[in-house]
Amino acid sequence: MFEKSGREFRQRRRKRGKRKKLPGWAIIPILGAVVLVSLGLSKMFGGNVDAVSFQVTEARRENVKESFNTSGTVVSGKSKIFYSPVNAPVKENRAKVGEPVKKGDKLIVFDTENLDRDNRNSQLNTLSAKYANQDAKEQSGRAKESMEKAKKQEKAMISELKSQIKKKESEIKKLKKTAQDAAGKDTENTGKITALQKKMADNLDSQSASRTKKENAERQLENVSDTAPDSEETKAQLIKEAEQAAEEVGRLEREYRTLEQELKRLGGGADGTGGEAGAASQALAQAKQELEALKSSLAQAENSRQTGADAGLTAAQLKNMKVSENIAQLAELTTEELLKKGKEGIKAEFDGIIADVKAPEGSDAVQGGELFTLVSNQDVGVELEVSAGDFEKLVPGEEAVITIGRHNYQGTLESVNKIALANEKGNPVIGAKVRIDNPDEDICIGVSAKVNMTVAEKEDVLCLPNEVINTASDGDFVYVIQDGIVKKKNIEVGITSTSMSEIVSGIKEGDQVVSEMSDSIKDGMKATAATVPDDGGTDMER
């Protein structure tokens, strides 16, 4: 239908090349009469009169308006499907297909007898979900608080151990200097005593290392689970390491006593420190042993902090609790708030026409199920399918006159698709929509509508009637009588109305254009002009 409208438009525009012609039965007598008259005149005036008289029209300036006509289907720009908010029987359904309704009209009335009981049950379920979530959050809060407190204690202990280590390192630095100063005062057996003191210090370092190894093995032995793979082999290995470390400590202690006796023999103090240097060395060794113990305690505390579990609720647990509470609240909404909605029924939200009804009166409406469909008869337009060849004529914003049945409306071209698609016949068409600016209650959705749009308009331009313009394969042309001679003029045609065409070039204002159509008109023939009257008289054509 739309393709046909566009084709008709193009055909009308080409009509300037298809001028009015008299039927064959009328042309032959006229031509005969013309020939007889010509012969008579020739005899009367001695054969000197050979010019033919043609009716002409003058090229003049006028206003011209080019229109585009097509047709389409009236559609609504606003449609809404109304769904049931409750599970309840439809007591009354006043929505009837095809009937107009006004905004606020009550169309559906529900039977809400059973909703009160459901409302009480849902309220209890909501309270239960809230209390369960509150209990879980409180227990999680207490556990988290306890964990945070333990973490703070661990942090404080780690900070204290680091402070003690720093102090002990400073103390060792001073003891080293003291031992060095004391060693300088001993002049007798200095080398041997120094060597013995170094051995004793190394011995003490080795003792500390062996004790640390023994403690680590024992600690690991305590943490081995009986259910762990190869637990027996692991325990045996750790017991062996602890025993070997203990034996090494015993050996080092015996070696240390031997070195102590040797130091006494060389003149060291009774306590085996070898005087001031010996005492300083012994204090230094003791300080180093204490430093290693502090470092071991720090490492254990840091490992314990890194592996500590978070007692708080996870993000997933919190989300799940929120979802469960929302579900309970929605259930309560279904029975409490939607009970209110059920009592209110369903009202039309805008003026329109009932397009479809899914829940007849007496049926059971299902929550979320369709009840009826309402389309607006105020937000309406016409959907078009225009031939792709007429795409250039569609400019959004153009005004249009829309005819629906016996009524005319003002409209505006609202949108034009950016792709041509094949219609049912396989021809490419462009989709477009014209908005009806002044809708009323007489508009019927889904019917055919005629659309007329002004695509071009010019004022005070040179024009000719469409019927005087000839069209050939190489373009448009007219016959002009100048100085008693017929001359063929090629012209460029601009915009075209149903009766007039703009002449862009080829002739000038006032030129006398032959208005008759006859195969006897030839370029260069002699002719006289008979002006066509302006009172609308019928033009005689040859």
Give tens-digit pLDDT for 231-289.
788 888 888 888 998 899 899 899 999 988 888 877 654 444 445 666 777 888 888 89
Q: Say if residues 47 and 424 touch (Cβ distance below 8 Å).
A: no
Whole-number Å distance between alpha carbons of 171 and 163: 12
Supply the pLDDT for residue 2. 38
Q: What is the mean pLDDT of residues 70-76?
A: 92
Q: For residues 378 and 277, which has the higher predicted lDDT (pLDDT)?
A: 378
Whole-number Å distance between alpha carbons of 159 and 167: 13
Q: For residues 281 and 165, which has the higher predicted lDDT (pLDDT)?
A: 165
**Residue 320 φ then ψ, to 5°:** -65, -40
Whole-number Å distance between alpha carbons of 443 and 411: 13
Both tokens of residue 136? Answer: 């879980």
- Kindly compute the dihedral angle of the four CA atoms of residues 314, 315, 316, 322, in this order, to the nearest 10 degrees: 110
Whole-number Å distance between alpha carbons of 14 and 425: 24
Supply the pLDDT for residue 90. 93
Q: What is the mean pLDDT of residues 318-327?
A: 80
On the question of pLDDT at 394 being above 50, the answer is yes
Q: Burial level of 389, CB count in 10 A (0-12/13-18/19+)?
A: middle
Supply the pLDDT for residue 451. 93
On the question of pLDDT at 502 being above 60, the answer is yes
Q: What is the mean pLDDT of residues 177-206?
A: 78
Segment among 86-90, 127-131, 502-506 with least mean pLDDT: 127-131
Provide the whole-model pTM.
0.44
Q: For residue 181, what are the contacts with CB-CB under 8 A and spacing of at least 6?
A: 280
Q: What is the mean pLDDT of residues 498-507?
A: 91
Q: What is the mean pLDDT of residues 477-501?
A: 92
| Mean pLDDT (the chain, rounded) | 81
On the question of pLDDT at 24 being above 70, the answer is no
Both tokens of residue 516? Answer: 């008759």
Q: For residue 123, what are the contacts with CB-CB under 8 A and spacing of at least 6?
A: 332, 335, 336
Q: What is the mean pLDDT of residues 132-140?
A: 82
Q: Which pairs with CB-CB distance under 8 Å and at least 24 residues apart come from 18-21?
A: 18/471, 19/466, 19/467, 19/468, 19/469, 19/470, 19/517, 19/541, 20/467, 20/517, 20/539, 20/541, 21/517, 21/541
Nearest to 444 by CA among 416, 403, 415, 411: 403
Supply the pLDDT for residue 61. 94
Q: For residues 353 and 274, which has the higher predicted lDDT (pLDDT)?
A: 353
Measured on CA atoms in the order 105, 108, 114, 119, is the torsion positive or negative? negative
Q: For residues 392 and 33, which has the higher predicted lDDT (pLDDT)?
A: 392
Whole-number Å distance between alpha carbons of 204 and 103: 99
Q: Give the CA distances from residue 264 to residues 192, 281, 492, in Å, rounded to whole numbers and listed in that order.
A: 12, 15, 133
Q: Say if residues 64 and 453 touch (Cβ distance below 8 Å).
A: no
Whole-number Å distance between alpha carbons of 348 and 95: 10
Q: State which of 265-274, 333-342, 499-508 shows the largest mean pLDDT.
A: 499-508
